[in-house]
Chain A
Amino acid sequence: MAQLQLNNIVKRFGPVEVLKQINLHIQDGEFVVFVGPSGCGKSTLLRIIAGLETQTSGEVRIGERDVSDLAPSDRGIAMVFQSYALYPHLSVRGNISLGLKQAKTPQNIIDERVEYAANMLALTDLLERKPAELSGGQRQRVAIGRAIVREPDVFLFDEPLSNLDAALRSSVRHDLAKLHKNLNATMVYVTHDQVEAMTLADRIVVMAGGVIQQVGSPRELYEDPQNRFVAGFIGSPKMNFVPAIDGPNGSEIAAEGEASSYELGLRPEHLSLRDADHPEGEPGVVQFSEYLGSESFSLVALDKGHQVLVRHSPHEIWNIDQPVKVIQIRDGYRFDRDGKRI
């Protein structure tokens, strides 16, 4: 196990700068998740760490070593791919042990490690099967097993669960969390899925346009986003953004077309609905209401021209076209014109 350090990583594909000065320090044993919109460079960064792509400039350090110029197999990493990428002509055992064989590991150690990994991932009965004879979840577990036996300093995962259906995804996600606890390994994980990011990560790295927007624990990112992008990206459903000005009693929402001095970010759970005759709040009309069992969401068109999504108890029932008042039960986040938090 080891720490991982990225210093001033830049990657250009021709004239396009895909990664712009990435600096990141990942602690020994940490589980770090990269999130960001499609095409922001997450996979590229992961592949640079793995050595499958060469950075235009910058340095990758694993442990105490500068690995920038080493081949993938010499970096002490293992990688799990979105498409499983199992060798079709080898059995499960062959798939898991190929890397060790390639490194000329003694046979008794190979057997030992394969058995250990197979036990941990419940693959013992499948060892002699070919990949074609496995289900999607089993294939992904084989791919994870292949990574485990290498006993790498750093595990790299590129959207490992996105090809699985919802039920399998959560079960393999739990396996991964357990694996991290058991091995206490350094792990870097790329995902599109907010739930995976929030539940697995010690720290989340939010990227956009080849730039790291913010690094922090899931709680920090959710409760203390540093810019509008992070505030909008983390959290589902999304934060509401409305233009606002300072009034006598704190922020006041500005009507559409009126001057505003900043943007106010309000999470759906920071708002609440009241009857139209309530003395405070912004008047509006309910557009639609979604009942999700444990909670409900209503979209309200404010008289000032903006739409906001409000989370409320499933026992509150608001009808379409019903006039309501929206009140703030917590202060919102303020963002300046450049999207910076103020």
Chain B
Amino acid sequence: MNARSKHFLAHSSAHLVLGIYTVIALFPAILVVINSIKTKKFIFRSPLSLPDADSLYFGGYQTVFEMGNFPLYAGNSMTVTVVSIALVLLFGAMAAFALTEYPFKGSRLLALYLALGIMIPIRLGTIAILKMMVASGLVNTLTALILVYVAQGLPLAIFILSEFMTQVSSDLKNAARVDGLSEFKIFFVLVLPLIRPALATVAVFTMIPIWNDLWFPLILAPSEETKTITLGAQVFIGQFLNDWNALLAAMSMAIVPVLLLYIAFSRQLISGLTKGAVK
């Protein structure tokens, strides 16, 4: 076997593995979307078949829009997710910068302490959190959710961003200091743009668990005005136990915003990477 065909083989087998993984990962999502536009009869009779003239049915979407408070739920989810990501990125990057740029006594220990949260699930503290929220009157507000999610996202953000911060050339920061830039400007104008790929990575890692979370919305903000989309869809299960169309339609629509966010971040990821390669 010559080198070229060997190379081709290695290449295509890698693609085969990736392809299989993609199919496995996408299968449930696609199944949900396909079945959301089929009549109930066909959902059960042939769940894997594509919709055709016989089975095509948009009634589920109609029900969701008529019966549920769907746009409100989606808006709540979006608000909570976007604000949480923004705060996690801002505070995470600031903490990472301080920990890597200004080593002080105990900074290692502090970094370790902040990273500890990666291994300890925040749900263990649910009762204490609920008590705190009740005491501060934040139950049934989006603020409660945002606060919890920021706390949940920060450990990983600090951990990943610290790693990238140390790679930003110290000569560059020093040159800026000689030129008279303040530490704030160095952070916002020089360092943040250079670690954009890391920020995008953190944003994606932070976003998914927040968007999908059912636990904290159920406990901290179950009121009608503050329901998130996952909680909203759960309510469909209870109310319309037999109406699979509505449930599938709600779930399909829940995928879209998060997909858009992901595409936005992954753009950043790629442009950040190529920019780094040029420098």
Residue positions of A touching B, CB distance < 8 A? 47, 50-52, 71-73, 77-79, 81-89, 98-99, 102-103, 131-132, 143, 146, 150
Q: Quick check: is B190 within 8 A (CB to CB) of the other chain?
A: yes
Residue positions of B touching A, CB distance < 8 A? 169, 171-172, 174-181, 189-190, 193-194, 275, 278-279
- 13 additional A-B residue pairs with CB within 8 Å, beyond A73-B178, A86-B175, A103-B180: A50-B178, A71-B177, A71-B180, A73-B180, A81-B171, A83-B172, A88-B279, A98-B181, A99-B179, A99-B180, A132-B279, A146-B175, A150-B179
Which of B181, B190, B193 contacts A102 (CB under 8 A)? B181
Q: Which residues of B contact A84 (CB under 8 A)?
A: 171
Whether A85 and B171, one on each chain, are in contact in the complex, defined by CB atoms closer than 8 angstroms, is yes
Do A89 and B177 contact each other (CB < 8 Å), given the known contacts A81-B171, A82-B171, A83-B171?
no
Which of A71, A81, A89, A103 contacts B175 (CB under 8 A)? A81
Whether A78 and B181, one on each chain, are in contact in the complex, defined by CB atoms closer than 8 angstroms, is no
Whether B178 and A79, one on each chain, are in contact in the complex, defined by CB atoms closer than 8 angstroms, is yes
A102, B279: Cα distance in complex, Å? 24
Q: How far is the CB of B34 from chain A (nearest CB, A)?
A: 45
Which of B172, B174, B279 contacts A52 (CB under 8 A)? B174
Q: Which residues of A contact B176 (CB under 8 A)?
A: 87, 98
Q: Which residues of B contact A52 (CB under 8 A)?
A: 174, 177-178
Q: How far is the CB of B187 from chain A (nearest CB, A)?
A: 14
Across the A-B interface, give the 9 residue pairs with the lowest CB-CB distance, nearest first.
A73-B180, A99-B179, A85-B171, A81-B171, A102-B180, A85-B175, A132-B278, A85-B172, A72-B178
Closest to B173 in A: A85
Q: How far is the CB of A87 from chain B (nearest CB, A)?
A: 7
Whether B180 and A85, one on each chain, are in contact in the complex, defined by CB atoms closer than 8 angstroms, is no
Q: Which residues of A contact B275 (CB under 8 A)?
A: 88
A73, B177: Cα distance in complex, Å? 7
Q: How far is the CB of A42 from chain B (nearest CB, A)?
A: 15
Q: Which residues of B contact A99 (CB under 8 A)?
A: 178-180
Q: Which residues of B contact A83 (CB under 8 A)?
A: 169, 171-172
Closest to A100 in B: B179
A150, B175: Cα distance in complex, Å? 12
Do A78 and B279 contact each other (CB < 8 Å), given the known contacts A83-B169, A83-B171?
no
Whether B179 and A98, one on each chain, are in contact in the complex, defined by CB atoms closer than 8 angstroms, is yes
Whether A88 and B175, one on each chain, are in contact in the complex, defined by CB atoms closer than 8 angstroms, is no
Q: Which residues of B contact A88 (CB under 8 A)?
A: 193-194, 275, 279
Q: How far is the CB of A136 from chain B (nearest CB, A)?
A: 12
Closest to B176 in A: A87
B174, B176, B189: residue with the most chain A Cβ atoms closer than 10 Å: B174
A299, B278: Cα distance in complex, Å? 47
Q: How far is the CB of A62 from chain B (nearest CB, A)?
A: 14
A85, B172: Cα distance in complex, Å? 4
Which of A73, A85, A132 contacts B169 (CB under 8 A)? A85
Which of B174, B178, B193 contacts A89 (CB under 8 A)? B193
Closest to A83 in B: B171
Which of B172, B178, B180, B278 contacts A87 (CB under 8 A)? B172
Q: How far is the CB of B27 from chain A (nearest CB, A)?
A: 42
Closest to A98 in B: B179
Whether A77 and B180, one on each chain, are in contact in the complex, defined by CB atoms closer than 8 angstroms, is no
A50, B275: Cα distance in complex, Å? 30
A82, B174: Cα distance in complex, Å? 12
A89, B189: Cα distance in complex, Å? 9
A64, B178: Cα distance in complex, Å? 20
15 pairs of residues in contact across A and B, judged by CB atoms under 8 Å: A50-B174, A73-B180, A77-B178, A79-B174, A83-B169, A83-B172, A85-B169, A85-B174, A87-B190, A98-B179, A98-B181, A99-B178, A102-B181, A132-B278, A146-B179
A327, B160: Cα distance in complex, Å? 66
Q: Which residues of B contact A82 (CB under 8 A)?
A: 171
Q: Which residues of B contact A150 (CB under 8 A)?
A: 179
Q: Which residues of A contact B193 (CB under 8 A)?
A: 88-89
A99, B193: Cα distance in complex, Å? 20
A47, B171: Cα distance in complex, Å? 11
Q: Which residues of A contact B190 (CB under 8 A)?
A: 87
Q: Which residues of B contact A72 (CB under 8 A)?
A: 174, 177-178, 180
A150, B177: Cα distance in complex, Å? 13
A81, B180: Cα distance in complex, Å? 16
A3, B174: Cα distance in complex, Å? 23
Q: How far is the CB of A69 from chain B (nearest CB, A)?
A: 15
A52, B175: Cα distance in complex, Å? 10
Which of B178, B189, B278 contacts A78 (CB under 8 A)? B178
A78, B180: Cα distance in complex, Å? 11
A89, B275: Cα distance in complex, Å? 10
A131, B194: Cα distance in complex, Å? 14
A98, B177: Cα distance in complex, Å? 11
A73, B279: Cα distance in complex, Å? 26
A72, B176: Cα distance in complex, Å? 10
Q: How far is the CB of B186 from chain A (nearest CB, A)?
A: 10
Closest to A81 in B: B171
Q: How far is the CB of A301 from chain B (nearest CB, A)?
A: 46
A86, B176: Cα distance in complex, Å? 9
A235, B21: Cα distance in complex, Å? 63
Q: Which residues of A contact B181 (CB under 8 A)?
A: 98, 102
Q: How far is the CB of A130 from chain B (nearest CB, A)?
A: 9
Closest to B179 in A: A99
B171, B178, B180, B190: residue with the most chain A Cβ atoms closer than 10 Å: B178
A275, B245: Cα distance in complex, Å? 105
Q: How far is the CB of B101 from chain A (nearest CB, A)?
A: 12
Q: Which residues of B contact A71 (CB under 8 A)?
A: 177, 180
A47, B173: Cα distance in complex, Å? 13
Q: How far is the CB of A197 from chain B (nearest CB, A)?
A: 22
